[in-house]
């Protein structure tokens, strides 16, 4: 008999079918209203939940599911899953590292080049018959300084593309220095911003990184510096970013994530020198199916009594 699985994030039919084929009965409730209706009805039988880093799973939500055994996050993020509540119940938590890092790194470079060369603005101007107005000079990327906040799998791939493809100097800031990395380590985000021409956020969300990039960091990045965020929207102080863009205190920003997404603050949407994409950096067909396959593998391993493939480390009390 298929095992009941609550899917509480939007998921396309192909990935739902991939997970269902692994032996799971899908209950798809991607909106708060759908979950409010479905969870009380299915709580006595639900044994697994599929979520992501943005939606997560609170202690209160965990408490409503007495038979819950495993929480799977379909991407690498798990910052809003209450790990202490899960640990107290003996609930396993998994995530999806290394399933979409190639795709995210590709998208990061699309954003870097687009904001540096003002591709969206030039395209819009030409379509409006303003050919000459679209021909202002724009900075190059080749040979510039690339700073990366968060040198995990994704950050490393972004760095490698910058080094090998664009002959850039690379430096990074991380929670801890990576001795195996050939790149320069800078001791603070502010120091990295002062150094960089292009500052990329590839850090996870959560309380530890909230507003890591604030007004002081943006001031350090300066009027010739560009900010690119493919990590989490919460890492950036949105009000400070809007002010810096309006005042010309940074050259521009290109972001794939917004704090509070999918809602975009009107002031952010109206800001100049800004490119926003709707959290699509990891959404290639290849990556999407890889994430679904890893979820299926983790679920199957758990219910077969085997170690899961990609466990999230639990907090040490």
67-83: pLDDT as tens digits: 999 999 998 889 999 99
Q: How far apart are CA 247 and CA 145, in angstroms?
A: 23
* In a domain? residue 291: yes
DSSP 8-state symbol, 18: H
* In a domain? residue 308: no
Asked if 230 and 139 sit in the same domain, the reply is: yes
Asked if 242 and 256 sit in the same domain, the reply is: yes
User: Does residue 188 register a pLDDT over 90?
Assistant: yes
Looking at the structure of the chain, the number of domains it has is: 2
Q: What is the pLDDT of residue 75?
A: 86
Asked if 202 and 71 sit in the same domain, the reply is: no
Please, what is the angle between helix 101-117 and helix 153-166, to 10°? 50
State residue 127 phi and psi, 5-degree precision.
-65, -25
Asked if 188 and 237 sit in the same domain, the reply is: yes
**DSSP-assigned letters across all residues of 32-90:** HHHHHHHHHHHTTT--EEEE-TTT-B-HHHHHT-TT--EEEESSS--TTB-HHHHHHHT
User: Does residue 313 register a pLDDT over 80?
Assistant: yes
Report helix, strand or coil for 216.
Answer: helix
Please, what is the angle between helix 285-303 and helix 13-21, to 10°? 30
* In a domain? residue 205: yes
Asked if 119 and 258 sit in the same domain, the reply is: yes
Say if residue 87 is exposed, middle or buried (CB neighbours under 10 Å; 0-12, 13-18, 19+).
middle
* In a domain? residue 316: no
Asked if 9 and 125 sit in the same domain, the reply is: no
User: Does residue 133 register a pLDDT over 90?
Assistant: no
State how far the alpha carbon of 123 is from the alpha carbons of 110, 114, 131, 136, 269, in Å. Answer: 15, 11, 9, 13, 18
Asked if 62 and 124 sit in the same domain, the reply is: no
The domain that holds 95 is classified in CATH as 3.40.50.720
Q: What is the pLDDT of residue 172?
A: 98
pTM recorded for the entire structure: 0.90
User: Does residue 248 register a pLDDT over 80?
Assistant: yes
* In a domain? residue 310: no
Asked if 207 and 72 sit in the same domain, the reply is: no
State residue 148 phi and psi, 5-degree precision.
-125, 125
DSSP 8-state symbol, 311: B
Instruction: Kindly report, residue by residue over 17-44, the tens digit of the pLDDT.
Output: 999 999 999 999 999 999 999 999 999 9
- What angle (nearest 5°) sits at the alpha carbon of residue 158, between those of residues 155 and 162? 135
Mean pLDDT of the chain: 96
Asked if 122 and 270 sit in the same domain, the reply is: yes
Asked if 203 and 297 sit in the same domain, the reply is: no
* In a domain? residue 141: yes
Q: How far apart are CA 193 and CA 172, in angstroms?
A: 10
Asked if 159 and 244 sit in the same domain, the reply is: yes
* In a domain? residue 255: yes
Instruction: Kindly report, residue by residue over 266-299, the tens digit of the pLDDT.
Output: 999 999 999 999 999 999 999 999 999 999 999 9
Q: What is the pLDDT of residue 99?
A: 92
Q: Give me the percent of the chain exceeding a pLDDT of 70.
A: 100
Report helix, strand or coil for 198.
Answer: strand
* In a domain? residue 311: no
Asked if 113 and 181 sit in the same domain, the reply is: yes
25 DSSP β-pair partners: 4
Structural domain for 89, as ranges: 3-99+285-303
Catalytic residue numbers, as ranges = 232, 261, 279
User: Does residue 303 register a pLDDT over 80?
Assistant: yes
Q: How far apart are CA 59 and CA 284, in angstroms?
A: 32
């Amino acid at each position: 008999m298929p095992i009941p699985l609550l899917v509480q994030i939007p998921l396309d039919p192909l990935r739902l079918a991939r997970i269902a084929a692994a032996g799971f009965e899908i209950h798809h409730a991607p909106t708060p209203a759908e979950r409010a209706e479905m969870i009380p009805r299915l709580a006595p039988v639900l044994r697994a939940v599929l979520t992501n880093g943005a939606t997560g799973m609170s202690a209160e939500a965990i408490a409503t599911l007495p038979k819950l055994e495993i929480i799977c996050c379909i991407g690498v993020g798990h910052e809003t899953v209450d790990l202490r509540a899960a640990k107290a119940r003996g609930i396993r938590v998994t995530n999806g590292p290394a399933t979409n890092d190639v795709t995210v790194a590709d998208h990061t470079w699309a954003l870097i080049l687009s904001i540096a060369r003002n591709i969206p603005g030039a395209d819009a101007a030409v379509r409006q018959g303003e050919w000459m107005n679209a021909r202002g000079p724009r900075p190059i990327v080749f040979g510039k300084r690339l700073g990366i906040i968060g040198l995990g799998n994704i950050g490393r791939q972004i760095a490698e593309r910058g080094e090998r493809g664009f002959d850039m100097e690379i430096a990074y800031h991380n929670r801890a220095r990576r001795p195996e990395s050939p790149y320069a380590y800078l001791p603070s985000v502010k120091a990295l911003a002062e150094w960089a021409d292009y500052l990329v956020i590839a850090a996870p969300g959560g309380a530890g990184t909230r507003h890591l990039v604030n007004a002081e960091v943006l001031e350090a990045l300066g009027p010739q510096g560009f900010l690119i965020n493919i990590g989490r929207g919460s890492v950036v102080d949105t009000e400070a970013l809007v002010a810096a863009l309006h005042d010309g205190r940074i050259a521009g920003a290109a972001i794939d994530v917004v704090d509070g997404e999918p809602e975009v603050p009107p002031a952010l949407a109206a800001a100049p020198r800004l490119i926003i994409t709707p959290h699509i950096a990891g959404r290639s067909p290849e990556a999407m199916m890889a994430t679904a396959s890893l979820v299926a593998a983790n679920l199957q391993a758990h219910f077969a009594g085997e170690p899961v493939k990609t466990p999230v480390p639990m907090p040490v009390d």
